[in-house]
Structure 1
Amino acid sequence: MAWNTAETKRRLKESATAEFAAHGLGGTTMERIARRAGINKERLYTYFGDKSKLFAAVLADELNKVAAAVPVEHLDGPEAVGAYAGAVFDYHAAHPELTRLLLWEGLLDLPQVPEEPARGETYRRKVEAFDRAQRAKLISDDIPAADLAFLVLALAGWWYAVPQMARMMHPGEPSTPASSRTALTRAATKLATPFTG
């Protein structure tokens, strides 16, 4: 029987995503990834090289998925910025491993992350969408486009990065995903609304 390389790689990456999200680069072992996938450890090394390369490949895949699932190309007003923030929030809710992988990567404090130029290009396109909307006077230009795009992404992801903080800030009446999403979309919409006073 022929070995299904694509399926094997998929299973290994799926296993690696779960392990890296739970334990970070330092706390994950190649042996545990292979065992979780039910595949020989040597095959893992053959396909992906060392653990750092595997972590980079896993994170690149996850970032490509979110970029494809939640594109931002045309922002025709503040409500579109709020809707974009809500879509990012929804993606993080459905894929909490992305937030954890990014946090683990940030803790590595690398001078440059793997594939930084390509990843930077993805973020540059997001900033350009905000910049186009600002130049067209469709959204506020009070905050530079790069900062506004970053703030929207940060607001959308922070709920899942520090859920304990959200819980402590709502001691008597815990927030729900729906109430958090509403607060987020309102805040993002307000950030993008031109000041008229």
Structure 2
Amino acid sequence: MPWDTEATRRKLLDAATAQFARVGLAGARVDSIAREAGVNKERIYQYFGDKSGLFAAVLATEVEHLLEGISVAGNGASALGHVAGALHDRVAMRPHLARLLAWESLELSEPVSAESRAEGCAAMVTALADALPHHDRAHAGELLLSLISLVLADRCLPHVTALVAPGSTTSSRRAAVVAQARALAATGS
């Protein structure tokens, strides 16, 4: 029976995603990832080069398309609220995204897939600038950065969330993020 390279890569990426989200690049262990995937650790070196290459592959797979498919619907404050809600839903369904982004920033000197990720962000900034007529492109970029920060905050800082808003739930947090996004869009400066 031929070796299913794609299935093996997927098993390794899934196991590595879970481990890198938990402990980051420095804390992850190749032996543990391979064991969790049920694959010989030599396949990691064959497919990804080394642990850093595997981390880069996980980041490229998981975070490169963070904004992909999220559309700007409507105009004004409701448009930014719509984006906030959609992004919150994506991160709520894939909570490892926030931790992977945090580990990337803590452990790498440059972002993975920077060019394609920058293109995705630029497209979203353009769409937001078009939907928010009282905001120029630079301000739309600042709004998007604030929005991403709002959405990721409780996932990256769960202890702070528990201390500041101990009753926070996924739905209450979503409502708060959407309301805050609308308020940010309403400010024209």
* TM, length-normalised to structure 2: 0.90
User: Matched residue of 2:151: which SS?
Assistant: helix
The amino acid that maps onto 1:17 is: T
2:44–2:51 CA contact under 8 A, matched in 1 = no
Offset, 1:77:
2.6
Query: Matched residues in 1 for 2:38 and 2:74: separation?
Result: 45
Counterpart in 1 of 2:112? 114
- Number of equivalent positions: 187
Q: Which runs of no fewer than 5 residues in structure 1 stay unpaired?
A: none
User: Matched residue of 1:184: which SS?
Assistant: helix
Counterpart in 2 of 1:181? 174
The amino acid that maps onto 2:144 is: A
Counterpart in 1 of 2:150? 155
Offset, 1:4:
0.9
2:72–2:79 CA contact under 8 A, matched in 1 = no
Distance 1:113 1:176, change over 3 A: closer
Offset, 1:72:
3.1
1:82–1:188 CA contact under 8 A, matched in 2 = yes
Query: Matched residues in 2 for 1:104 and 1:194: separation?
Result: 32
The amino acid that maps onto 2:16 is: A
Offset, 1:86:
1.2
Query: Matched residues in 1 for 2:160 and 2:107: separation?
Result: 23
Distance 1:45 1:10, change over 3 A: same
Distance 1:73 1:187, change over 3 A: closer
Counterpart in 2 of 1:141? 135
* TM, length-normalised to structure 1: 0.87
Offset, 1:58:
0.5
Written as runs of structure 1 = structure 2, the 5 A alignment for 1:83-98 is: 83-98=82-97
Among all aligned residue pairs of Structure 1 and Structure 2, give the percentage whose two residues are the same amino acid. Answer: 39
Query: Matched residues in 2 for 1:170 and 1:177: separation?
Result: 12
CA RMSD of aligned residues (A): 1.9
